[in-house]
Amino acid sequence: MTERSNDMIEDAVEGALHDLAAEAPATLLPSTLLAVGLADGYAPLDSPIGRLFVAFNGRGVSAVALADDEAAFERRFVGTFGRPIRRVGTLPGQLGRAIERRLSGDRRAPVPVDLRNATPFERAVWDKALEIPPGEVRPYGWVAAEIGRPRAARAVGSVLGRNPVPLVIPCHRVVRSDGRIGDYALGSAWKRAALMDEGLDLERLEALAHVGIRFLGSDTTRVYCLPTCRNARRIRPAHEVRFRSRVDALSAGYRPCRHCRPGAAAG
């Protein structure tokens, strides 16, 4: 075969390949970046405490915030995470349903979260918050003791305050060691609203905190609990015994509840 023939064949092949070529869809790059976690999408979601913006990527939910202004949410996200973000129509179906189940109190709803930059201590705190049942609260000192850092109650509070996915990780269920509600990443009013939506009797909890009552016991079972424990709520008024500290409860011959583990709470 002559050199001229070879050139003609190469030209024909190149021409055929050129005809087959097509521009990549404009959505390919954003979708790819979203899938690998190099960019995020976000969409609004109605919740018991108001309209939320939920950011996500292929790793999971990356941010949850209350906001009316999309531009402000985008600026805050980029400033915090350093990744591009864009508005999408709706959350992916399975993820959206799982978040709604989690917000309704289903702790078993599988909601993946993107916590790639979290420290081991932050992960331990957030994982422990996930164990607190809806309608119950635990003190910061309880979380600290449960993760093996009993002197780190203040650090626990700081970590919960910067939880990037509030409500999904229920940091609203952690309160001050004196039983008062305390601050919240989305605002104390929203914390109160979220707890009441879960069925927690805030008025009773705050009344007990006001007079220094930290634990409730039953004189029939001789078990003492944190005030919002599901077992404490079963105690009839005639059998309720109030304690200001663990020492008081133990001195009276009461043992700690296995559900709420009040022995981990300071005081």
- To the query of whether residue 171 is one of the catalytic residues in this protein, the response is yes
Structure tokens at 153: 């109650």
Give the separation between CA 59 and CA 41, rounded to whole angstroms.
12
Q: How far is CA 136 from CA 1, 3, 177, 194, in A?
A: 85, 84, 14, 11
Give the separation between CA 221 and CA 180, rounded to whole angstroms.
27
Handedness of CA 157, 132, 114, 77 (dihedral sign): negative
Strands 60-66 and 240-243 come out as: unpaired
Give the separation between CA 259 and CA 3, rounded to whole angstroms.
85
Radius of gyration of the chain (CA): 26
Of the candidates 54, 78, 50, the residue with the CA atom closest to the CA atom of residue 65 = 54
Query: For the chain, how long is the longest CA-to-CA vector?
Result: 107
3-state helix, strand, coil in the chain (%, to 5): 40, 15, 40
Do 136 and 103 contact (CB within 8 A), yes or no? no
The catalytic residue among 171, 225, 257, 260 is 171
Give the separation between CA 175 and CA 143, rounded to whole angstroms.
10
Annotated catalytic residues are 171
